[in-house]
Structure 1
Amino acid sequence: MRRVFAGLATLLVLVIVVQFFLAASAAFDTAPKDESFQPHRSLGYVIFLFAVVLTIVAALARMPGRLIGMTGLVAGLTVGQVVIRELAKAFDGTGDTSTTAGQVVFGLHAVNALIILAVAGTVAWRSRALPGSAVTGRPAGAARVSGPAQPTS
C-alpha cells in the first residue's frame, strides 16, 4: 500500500506540473480568458479531489502522521487557490483582475501554486524514502546487518 501511495504522490506532482503548463499556455492564448483558462480551472478541481483521495489513501496505508497532514495540506492549499481568485475579483469589483489591487491579490495565486508544488514534491519524496515503499539500493536477498562490524579474515 505504501508503494501505491508513493506512486500516486508522484503522479500528483506531475499533474501539478501540467497545471503550471496549462496556466502558462492560457496566459498567452488569444481566446477570451474564461475560455482559455477553462482547462486550467478544471484541472485545479481534479487536483483538489486527487489530494483528498490521496489523504485518505495515506491514512489507510498507515503513513506517518506528518505525511498524512502534508497530503491534506495540498488539498487545503488548493482550496486557497479558489479563495485567492475570488478575493481578487472582490477587490476589482467587476470580476476582472485587471486593477492594481486585484493583480496584487491574484499574484498570490502563483505564490500559493509554488507552495502546493513544494509540499506535494516533499510528500512524494518522503513517501519514496519510507521503508517498504521503494527500492532501498541493497541487492536482492542481501541480509540487513545491525550491530558492530564483523572482522574479515
Structure 2
Amino acid sequence: MRRAFVIAGGLLLLALSLQFVFAAVGAFTRPAADGSYVLHTVNGSAVIPALTVLTVLLAALARAPGRLIALAALPLGLVILQMLLAAMAKGLTDDAGGSTTVGLIIGGLHAVNGIVAVHVVLGVTRAARRLELSAASPAAGAEPAAGAANNAGVDRPA
C-alpha cells in the first residue's frame, strides 16, 4: 500500500503540473473561445479531485500518520478555493464586461493558490516516499548485522 501511496502522490503531482500547461493552452488558443480552457477545467474539476481522494485513501491504507493523511486531503480544499477564485475573478468585471483591478488581483490569487497546491502535493509525495523507505529499512535502533555494517563502509568497534 505504501508504494501505491507514493504512485498516487506522483500522479497527483503530475496532474497539478499539467494544470499549468492546460492554462497556458487556454490562454494562447486563438481565436479564444468558450472551449479554450476545457482541458484546464476538466483536469481541475475532475481529475485532480479524484486523484486527491485516491491519495488520501491510499495514505490511510498505508497507515500514514494522521497529519500526513490530513495534508494529503488539503489539495481538495485548495481545488474548491480555486473554483471560487476563478468564479469571483470572472464575476468582477465592469459594466462593459472588461477586467477590473480587483478581478485581476483575484485571478492572480488563483495562480498563487495553484502554486501552493503543487508544493503541498510535493511535500505529500516526499513524505510518502520516506514512509515507504522506512518500511523497507530495519527498525530504528536495531543493530545491523556485522556483514552489513562492514559492507556499508562503517567501522564497528570490537
User: What TM bracket, shorter-length normalisation?
Assistant: 0.7 to 0.9
Which whole-Å CA distance do the structure 2 matches of 1:98 and 1:134 have between them?
A: 53
Which whole-Å CA distance do the structure 1 matches of 2:126 and 2:90 have between them?
A: 36
Structure 2 counterpart of 1:40, one-letter code: H
Please name the residue that 1:113 is paired with: 114
TM-aligned CA deviation for residue 82 of structure 1: 0.3
Q: TM-score w.r.t. structure 2 length?
A: 0.79
Runs of 4+ in 1 over 4 A off after TM superposition: 131-136
Q: Which stretches in structure 2 are left out of the alignment for 5+ residues?
A: 145-154
Which whole-Å CA distance do the structure 2 matches of 1:134 and 1:97 have between them?
A: 56
Please name the residue that 2:21 is paired with: 21
Which whole-Å CA distance do the structure 1 matches of 2:66 and 2:101 have between them?
A: 41
Which whole-Å CA distance do the structure 2 matches of 1:37 and 1:116 have between them?
A: 19
For 1:90-129, list aligned pairs within 5 A. 90-92=91-93, 98-129=99-130
Q: Is the 8 A contact 1:127 1:133 kept in 2?
A: no
> How many equivalent residue pairs?
143
Which whole-Å CA distance do the structure 2 matches of 1:128 and 1:82 have between them?
A: 30
Higher helix share: 2
Q: TM-score w.r.t. structure 1 length?
A: 0.82
Q: Give the structure with higher Rg (CA).
A: 2
Per-residue CA deviation, residues 48-83 of structure 1 (Å, 9 max, x unaligned), is 121022112212221111110111101110111001
